[in-house]
Each structure stands twice: as C-alpha cells, then as structure tokens.
Amino acid sequence: MNNTDQIIRTKLHQPFIRAGLVSRPRLQERIVQGLRGPLTLITAPAGFGKTTLITSSLASSRMTAAWLSLDPSDNQAKRFLIYLTAALQGVDHQIGFESAQILAGMQQTPVEEVLISLINDLDAAGIEIVLVLDDYQVISNSEVHEVLAFLIEHCPQNFHILLSTRSDPPLPLTLLRARGQMIELRAADLRFNVIEVDQFLNQVMHLNLDPDSVAVLAERTDGWIAGLQMAALSIRNRADISGFIEGFSGTNRYILDYLSEEVLSCQSEEIRHFLLHTSILERLCGSLCDAVIGGASNSQNTLEQLDKANLFLIPLDEEYHWYRYHHLFADLLRTRLHQSLNAQDIYRLHQRAAEWYEGNGLIYEAIHHASLAINNEYVERLIEQNYMKLTSRGESPAFLFWMGKLSKEAIYKRPWLCIYAAMSSAWLGQLEEAEVLLAEAEKNIQVEDPDPNTRRMLATQTYVKSRVTAMRGDLHKAIELNLYAREVAPTNPLPLRLMIGVGLGYEYFLVGDLDNACKLLIETIQLGRTSGDINNTVATSCVLARLYTVQGLLNKAYATYQDAERLIQEGGGQQLGAVSIVNVGMADLLYQWNHLDDAFTSINQGLEFIRLWGKADDTILAYLVQSRILQAQGNKTAALEAINKASQVIRFSGVFPEARDALMAIEARLQLSLGNNLAIDRLIGSLEARSCKENFFTFENELAHLTLARAYIASSQLEKALRLLSGMEESARSGGRRGRLIEINILKALALQAAKEPMQAEAALLESLALAQSEGFVRLFLDEGQPMRVLLAKKAAHDCTTPLGDYAVHLLSQFNAEFPARQPADEKGSLTGELVESLSRRELEVLHLMALGRTNLEIAGQLIISPGTVKAHTANIYRKLDVTNRTEAVAHARHLGILP
C-alpha cells in the first residue's frame, strides 16, 4: 500500500488498549449511556486518560466504531471531510462511497452536499455507529466547526459522535445540554479517586506501596493520571521509595518538571538523545527516526524497547510500524530539546524529517516540516514539484491552502507558483485573477536560451494564457499561443503535452479548422492512451466526437464515445467525472437519433456526476442537452429549468465560445417559439450587430447565424434569411461541416416554402435528406415542427419508393408517433381510480412537496436526501402515475384522490 494510505491508516486506527489497566466501570457506563444520543463530549486536559477510557468503553458497548485522530493539518474542511469519509468507509464500504467520489473529483468542495450524502448513507446503514473524534482541540477552523455542527444537527438515530478534546468546542453546548442531546464528562469526572490510584500503583504497576504513600501521591498529583504514571515510573527505578515520596510531596515544582527529570535521568545517554531528537515528530517509525537522528542508529529497535518499557509511546497501527509520543511527554521533550539545542540545530532536524517525508512520497508532511525548518525555498519547491500530480487527484485545494500561507510577494517572486495558481483560476473560470497571475509569472521567466525547466515553465504559462485568451473570445491569438507552447514544451512531462494537445485541438475546432483539429486530437488521444492519463484522454475524445457531429458523422462520433468508455473501464472505472461527460455526449447523439428514452437515461446518468468533472463548459452543455431531450418529451417546465441552470453556471464562470453560443442559441429558439414579436426584433438587432465584422461566414459565427436565420423566418423576412443561408451554405460546404449543412438546407427549405417557392423548397429538402440519411438524423427535422411535417408529407405523397422518399416516410412516422403523442389525462382508459403500483411513503412525501411547488433541491434539503435520490423518486412517481412531468403528476394525483 502506498505511503499516503499508511498515514491515513494511522489516523483511523483505534489506539490499542494495554492489558492490565485500571477498570472504571462507572465512567464506562456513563459513556455507553451517552452513546445513545447524538453527542458525547469528553473534555479534559492532556493526560487524563481520555483515550484509554474511550477505547475501553467502546469495547464494552459493542457498537461499531469509526476512529479519527485529528491533528492541526485537518483544519481545512475538505481534508477533514476526506478523513471523516475514510473513517466511516472503514465501518461499511457503502457509507461515504458517493461522498468520497465527490471529494476526489472537485476542485471546490460542496460541503453540504457531501454531508447530506454521508448522512443518508449512515441512515441507511442499519447499524449503530459511533464516530470518535480524538484531539478535537486542534481544530480552530470555523468551517470545520460548522461541518460538525451540521452533522450533530442532522444526526440520524443510529449515529453517535464522541468528541474527545482538551477544551470545550465552539458548538451550541448549552442548547444540546438543555435538549438532553449531549452527555459530558469533564476533568473532575476523570480524575482517579484514591481507590483507583491504589489500584493503579499497586495492582497495575506492582509497586507495593502502603496506604499512606498512596494517599500522598494521590494528593500531590490530584488524581492526574499522567502525573501518576510518571511518578510510578520514577518509583519503579529506585531503591529508596520513601525518600522519593518525601521529596516529591515536599516540592512545589511543577510535577511534570520534577518527574520527567527523574524519568529521563534513569535512561541511557543514547535513549535520552533519541527521545529528545525525535520529539519533533508527530509520528515515528524506525526509518524516519534514523533519518532525523543521523548516523548509524537502530531506531526500530529503540522504539520497540521504549514501547515495552511503557515510556509513553503509543502504537498507531497493528503492525507496530508507526508510533507517537503521548502528547504531554512530547511537549516535555520538546521543551528540553529547545533548552539543549540552538535554533539552527533544531531546524536541521526538521529539514531531515522533511527530506525523509519527501523521499517517501508524503508531501504534506514534508511541507509541514520544511516550513518548521524555516526553509521557504524548500517549501516552494515541494509545492511546485508536486502540484500537477496532486491536482490530478483533486487535491489542489490543499495546495491552495499551503500557498495561502505564503505571502503574495513570495508567490509573485516564484513563477511556478504563479503559473499553478493561474491554472487553478483558469479552470474555475476566474479570468481576471488568472490574468494577473500570468502577468506576474511572465515577468520572471527568462525567454532567451531557456533550459528544460524554463521551457516547461514557459510552455505551461503560455498554455494557461491561451486558455484564458480563448475564453475571452480571441481564438486566433489563442491558437498562436498554444502553437508556441507546443513548440517550447519539452517531451516530458506527458500531462503537459496532453493538455496543450487537447487545448490547441479544441481551439482549432472552435475556429472551424476541422482538419488540423482532427489530426491533433487523434494524435493526442494516441499519446493519452499510452500515458494512463484517463481524464485528459477522455476530454480529448469528447471534443473529437463533437467535431465529428459537426461534420455530420454521427456514427463515428458514437464510436469515439464508446472507445472512451472502454478506456475508462480498462483503467478501473473510477473516474466518474470522465464517465459523466461521455454519457452526456452519448445522450446528445441518442437525442439526434430520436431514441428519447435512451437519451433520457443517458443524460440523467451524465448529470448525476457531472460536478465531479467540474468544468463549467461541460456542465452547461450537459444542461442544454438535457433541456432539448425534455423539450422533445413534452416536458416544457423541466426543459426551462435546465436552461436556467445552464445560465446560472455561466453567470459565475468564464467559458469558451462553444458553450456560450450554444446557450444563446437555445434561449433564442425558446423566444422564437413563444412568438413574441418584440423579443424577436430585439434578437435580430443584437445578432446583426454582432456579425458586423469581416470574415462573416465563419464557423465561429455559425450558430449565431443559424439563430438569425430562424429569427428572420419567424418574422417573415424571407429574402434576408435566404441571402444569409446561401452565404452560410458555401462556408459550411467548404469547411466540411455536413451536420451544419443539413440544418442550413432545412431552414432554406422552410424559408422557400414560406416564400411560396415549392419547387425550390423541395430541392433544398432533398439536399438535406441526402446529406442526413446515412447517419440517421431525425431530430433536426422533427424539431422544426409542423412546417417541416407538411414539407415531408408532400415529398412522401409523390415519392415513397426512392431511398430518399423512404427516409421522408420514416421521418413522417416519427412525427406521427410524437404529435399527437398525449391524450388529455382524463381520457386515458387505464384510469379506474386506482394505480397499478401504489406510491411508497417516500414517494408520497416527494409528491406532496412537489404539489407545494418545491424544487428538487429544496425537496432534497427538506427530506435530507441527495438530489439524485429525489430524481429517482420523481422518475418512479411519473412512471406509476403514467405522466411525464410535475404538473401532470400533481393534477393526476389530485384526480385520483392521492393528493387533497
């Protein structure tokens, strides 16, 4: 297993209880009681035996427990949630499966969504589960506190949180106490009483002390377990026990001072050295200790010795590979360390630790120690070298966290940090921020005679700049930039070349240079397959498929999606984000072929995890595909909802022209179908203004022109329409854009029909049929509605024997299947006042909320289930009620008396 997994395991490992401890049934019972409710709080300073008490209580409660030991680096919502999910998954693999995917995929963490998913899973788990959060006092981040508050607030009946901390956490404790939702144990409860002190000293440590000595020690330590342990260790090594007790009780020195000196003085010089030097580490293993101490040291051996001698070493896993010091002991050792070594020497220790961690692939820990070594250069280098790797695993927020610790000046000084920050911003569509960072980076890159590292830097910076430039709309400049990036980029690393490849290929596509685009995209896919970089390869495949669609090659496009699907499966099928965009692409093609049910299934699958992909452009395109499918299914309300979602996304994020134009085109078609003349005139105005440039009939302008042509037709400006369409036709033909050519000819036919030129109209129709037939286009025709139906009927009437005539007949039959598709609800024969399959209780709840006008998201929030689950329920409701949309569902339900 890799090293990161090892560390994770140590955090999730329930500490091992040593045999022969003082049993505290009274307290254990209280904890077991507390575990019936949502929160059990144990608040006491270090050394009060909290962890021991918790582990022994869990053993007697027989509840399944998940354990999470917290440390200061968990002060970040995403990291906290990752570990939380990992801990719960250890209990039951089903719990947190979806959450883990969401966390793995996204740049930004949708905290509430992750929590709701977790809570649902916990609820469904069916067993009593305890989550122990140990050392909660390290958490100071308010977002993490909010996560916990949310969990407690929405705690399922079978889930119980046990918080162990040194200070009261900033949760609504008073409220929880008042509601009886919390049991707490505090220091006063945890102190050993005299009986327990006696048990510990005499029965566990076998010291054979008389009652008076026991009483003195109990008094002096005030029942503090750590103090008692120290005292016991000191006594164990001495001959003159009464002398010790007298000295101990007679001094007012801080007892740990006194006792630790005693304990340490009994150790060999070698052990003392070991303890002090390794005290800087949060976790210890043999090889790490060797590295920190330097020289020839058999640290593994030493650790085992210390463990046996009960010297405050706590094993962290079952193999006894990793340990940590008891916190207090570590604090004591560190103080002494600072007293015996100067600052430089201590930095050196941290440096050695950082290097060991780096060498073993544990980058966060390496960065932590590098910053403690006050070695900013090293910190920055670690971030630079590992950014790409960790970003591809969705961990860039953590990097942004580390970068947030560096000042802006520090970032600006180091071009790599600027470039990576710019890349993140660009991916999130935050263009202004990206531009500022790119400018700063540029200042510091030496362009003349660059070495390989500088070339990589230059290539990356130019790639990001190209992306931003393309999103700003200047595609030709963007292509120039990416060509340069391609030239400058070294052969390795591969991910960079892949990114440039798909970036440049996409830009060629957007500008209409389909030949170059195709060549480059295919090349990039080949490269991608060998590299194992599934995400970039799939992204490239999807662009290629969309290119084939524009070329009218639907079957080739579909095959491309299938290849991509296979690639993902072969790689293990983990990349749910990549699976999503493939599903969206396939949905689009199925829609074109009018396989609406399959398209519907596909788009729903795609939308389920599209957020894991995280790119605004693909999200928008997904919603638009969904809206077209819903529209074709007659579900106008939902179709509009989907369009709204798409426009929401575009409000907050920069996008490429493809998504922007697609949204514009669909919104415009909606306007046109509503027949609002004012709106149509306005639309025409804005589109005409836009195309007032040279290079008129380009691919870049094609969608806008198609929309303009439709608007002209709708407002009966047929001459203008035809003029526009003929210019577009020439351009599409020479550009090899057969798919668009079909659409252009369809519009031409409709315009000519409206202009009362039936012969020419038929010619245009024939042209479009000829182009469309071999690839099975259906929706392009169906989406034009009645006028197209009339045209097709005319054609079919006098020709149903030629292949084209056949095709026309086929299209007509699809029309008939759709219009009239639905009879009014109350004419359906199957209605007898009863349902064939009755609604489940949950489905009824959803239906009630739907009747109140709640959106899916609101319903999800109210019922505390995931939006995906809501969708599944509504699909079932529609099926059972034999309807296709909300309005019908509610109406039908009322008719049946299911709703009042």
Partner 1 sequence: MPEYYEFIIKGCLDPGWSGWFAGLHLTHQGRDLTLLSGTLPDQAALHGLLERIRDLNLTLISVTCGGSNIRNFDKER
Contact between 49 and partner 1 by CB under 8 A: the answer reads no
Question: Judged by CB under 8 A, which of 154, 272, 336, 413 binds partner 1?
Answer: 336
Phi–psi pair at 134, nearest 5 degrees: -95, 140
Distance CA 332, CA 751 (A): 88
Q: Which is nearer to partner 1, 251 or 673 (CB)?
A: 251
Candidates 103-111, 248-256, 501-509, 722-730; binding stretch for partner 1 (CB under 8 A): 248-256
Binding mask 122-161 for partner 1 (x = CB under 8 A): ---------------x------------------------
Candidates 249-257, 272-280, 574-582, 760-768; binding stretch for partner 1 (CB under 8 A): 249-257
Cβ at position 342, least distance to partner 1 in Å: 11
Contact between 338 and partner 1 by CB under 8 A: the answer reads yes
Distance CA 773, CA 351 (A): 69
Phi–psi pair at 42, nearest 5 degrees: -120, 110
Cβ at position 485, least distance to partner 1 in Å: 43
Cβ at position 145, least distance to partner 1 in Å: 15
3-state class of 68 per DSSP?
A: strand
Q: Which two tokens stand for residue 653?
A: 């994020």
Number of amino acids touching partner 1 (CB under 8 A)? 24
Distance CA 623, CA 573 (A): 24
Q: Which is nearer to partner 1, 368 or 738 (CB)?
A: 368
Contact between 328 and partner 1 by CB under 8 A: the answer reads yes
How many other CB atoms are found less than 10 A from the CB of residue 435?
Answer: 18
Contact between 376 and partner 1 by CB under 8 A: the answer reads no
Whether 47 and 224 have beta carbons less than 8 Å apart is answered as yes
For 434-465, the three-class secondary structure string (H helix, E strand, C coil) is: HHHHHHHHHHCCCCCCCCHHHHHHHHHHHHHH
Distance CA 710, CA 719 (A): 12
Cβ at position 336, least distance to partner 1 in Å: 8
Distance CA 335, CA 341 (A): 10
Q: Which residues pair with 130 in a beta bridge?
A: 65, 160
Residues 71-90 touching partner 1, rule: CB under 8 A, are none
Determine the straight-line distance between the first and last CA of the chain, rounded to whole angstroms: 59
Q: Which is nearer to partner 1, 47 or 96 (CB)?
A: 47
Residues 250-309 touching partner 1, rule: CB under 8 A, are 251-257
Task: Outline where DSSP puts E strands in 552-691.
Answer: none
Q: Which is nearer to partner 1, 324 or 327 (CB)?
A: 327
Strand 323-325 vs strand 313-315: parallel, antiparallel, or unpaired?
Answer: antiparallel
Cβ at position 116, least distance to partner 1 in Å: 33
Q: Which is nearer to partner 1, 240 or 257 (CB)?
A: 257
Whether 624 and 663 have beta carbons less than 8 Å apart is answered as yes
Strand 159-165 vs strand 39-43: parallel, antiparallel, or unpaired?
Answer: parallel
Cβ at position 257, least distance to partner 1 in Å: 5
Contact between 47 and partner 1 by CB under 8 A: the answer reads yes
Residues 166-185 touching partner 1, rule: CB under 8 A, are 166-167
Q: Which two tokens stand for residue 854?
A: 């709640």
Distance CA 119, CA 866 (A): 9
Contact between 327 and partner 1 by CB under 8 A: the answer reads yes
Candidates 124-132, 292-300, 332-340, 539-547; binding stretch for partner 1 (CB under 8 A): 332-340
Cβ at position 220, least distance to partner 1 in Å: 11
Contact between 226 and partner 1 by CB under 8 A: the answer reads yes
User: In the block, which residue shows the tokens 């889930």?
Assistant: 159
Candidates 196-204, 333-341, 614-622, 780-788; binding stretch for partner 1 (CB under 8 A): 333-341
Q: Which is nearer to partner 1, 339 or 830 (CB)?
A: 339
Which run of H or E residues covers position 80?
helix 77-91
Distance CA 104, CA 114 (A): 11
Cβ at position 254, least distance to partner 1 in Å: 4
How many other CB atoms are found less than 10 A from the CB of residue 331?
Answer: 15
Cβ at position 44, least distance to partner 1 in Å: 9
Q: Which is nearer to partner 1, 334 or 895 (CB)?
A: 334
Q: Which residues bind partner 1 (CB under 8 A)?
A: 45-48, 137, 166-167, 224, 226, 251-257, 327-328, 331, 334-336, 338-339
